[in-house]
Amino acid sequence: MFHNVKSQLHSINRLMQTYAVFYILSTCVLTAFFVITGILFTLQNTAMAKESRIKNVYEGKRFYTIVDNFYDADAFYEFRQHSKNINRLGEFYNGLVESSKLEFISIFNQPINIKQYKGDAGFLYNSQEFRNEKILDTSNVKAIQLNSAAFELYQLSAAQGLSIDWHAVDYQKGVLPVLLGADYNGVYAVGSTFKGNFYGRTMTFEVVGLLEPNTFVYYKGNPEFYLDKYIVMPYPELCKSVDAMDFHFEGILYFAMINGDAATTLGEKSFLREIKNIADSTEFTDFSVVGIPILSMRYAEMISVIKENQRLLSATMLLVGILVAFIQCQVGNLILARRLDVYQAYWLIGDGTYRFIYLRDISLPYIIAYGLSVIIIGLCFQYFSFLSTLFPFTISGGLLAFVYFINKPGLLDSVQGRI
């Protein structure tokens, strides 16, 4: 056994010495090919996942925006002085989210003022250039508030920790569960807490989970508003009746909550009828409904761009594949021609393993290139996944089998000939 292994190693060593340049060239071509296909495959997968996610969110739906009509600051101030008005506002929101004919998606990016914030400038809401750190030890940090329909529509899920427990969201308690964008990994851990000021109320924020990387939502006309650097706060499921003596906070919060988007499969007339019914029943009518047809156009554009990219990636992979397969077939053919005497010697003696020997001879660069490509993809792109290593492996095996079977008739013909 040991002698056999030693003999094989010796044979491979002699082979490498004789065909070193050949093998190095072949290994370089294959390594580049496997790295390229590994990356293209990852990109292709990402594009497909994105396409599927965008389709899930936007396909077959009409989007409308609901905005309040308080353009005048005095009127806005006056409205918020009466708890009855705020309760009507809250009921209007409840009517929207409880309607079975639409999904009311409420999103707003109100920053949180946090003391002794741990993150870097990338997470901050505004420029830090003129900030005097000696005076201020608080930071305005990017935050976004979403209701449960928004979470559901955009399929926000935690890569670490838990998702939001909507029953635990209670702004009166002063402790609020939050999710953090993927870039927060290493800044705040799941379970950690920090204090911050939100609409003038000091609250404790408890990190319950971290979002998947590249999570995005539609926000303010941007179909891909990424949340990687945001603190994601849940809005309460429903608006509660306010305390008649202390409703300043709710006065702002509920306004922010009713300014949102409604996604519906209804026609325009039916949708407006539904909104009117909610407004009539809650007696809050100071709002407007704005259609956003541009969104469907953008959606179509996005899908088309992704599809174009996918086609481009597939075409590139195919062309590169054909080129490499051609090169490798030629290399396989050259090895066959140069090692023919060896294979003939095997056959002449009566040993049929010359086919395996040929396969071994041509497979060495594939094995080395596969190993190198996995290392390169892992080190350079910090990306290791089962699929990203399996794909080059499959390509490598497939290409090797292709080269072998293309050259096999030539091999049999040349070797199993006459003396």
Q: Which of 3, 134, 167, 269 binds another protein (CB under 8 A)?
A: 3
Nearer to another protein, 19 or 219 (CB): 19
Stretch that binds another protein, among 120-128, 149-157, 296-304, 350-358 (CB under 8 A): 350-358
Angle of helix 354-381 versus helix 2-18 axis, rounded to 10: 70
Q: Considering beta carbons, is residue 133 or 341 the nearer one to another protein? A: 341
Stretch binding another protein (CB under 8 A), from 53-61, 298-306, 351-359, 379-387: 351-359
The correct pick among 28, 290, 312, 348 for binding another protein (CB under 8 A) is: 348
The whole-angstrom separation of Cα 76 and Cα 35 is: 59
- Considering the complex, what minimum distance in angstroms separates the CB of residue 337 from another protein? 14
Among 167, 220, 269, 418, binds another protein (CB under 8 A): 418
Smallest gap from residue 370 Cβ to another protein (A) = 25
The rounded distance, in Å, linking the Cα atoms of 343 and 251 is 87
Virtual CA dihedral for 395, 400, 403, 409, nearest 10 degrees? -140
What order of strands is seen across the sheet that includes strand 103-105? 103-105, 260-264, 62-68, 287-291
CA nearest neighbour of 248 among 112, 75, 72, 85: 85
Residue 20 interacting with another protein (CB under 8 A): no
Instruction: Select the residue interacting with another protein from 109, 344, 389, 414 (CB under 8 A).
Output: 344
Helix (H) / strand (E) containing 165: none
Q: Residues near 307 by Cβ (< 8 Å), separated by ≥ 6? A: 51
Q: Does 414 bind another protein (CB under 8 A)?
A: no
Residues 6+ apart with CB under 8 A from 192: 206, 207
CB-count exposure of residue 278 (10 Å: 0-12, 13-18, 19+): buried
Site string for another protein, 149-188 (x = CB under 8 A): ----------------------------------------
| Residues at the contact surface with another protein, assessed by CB under 8 A | 3-4, 7, 10-11, 14-15, 18, 341-342, 344-353, 416-419
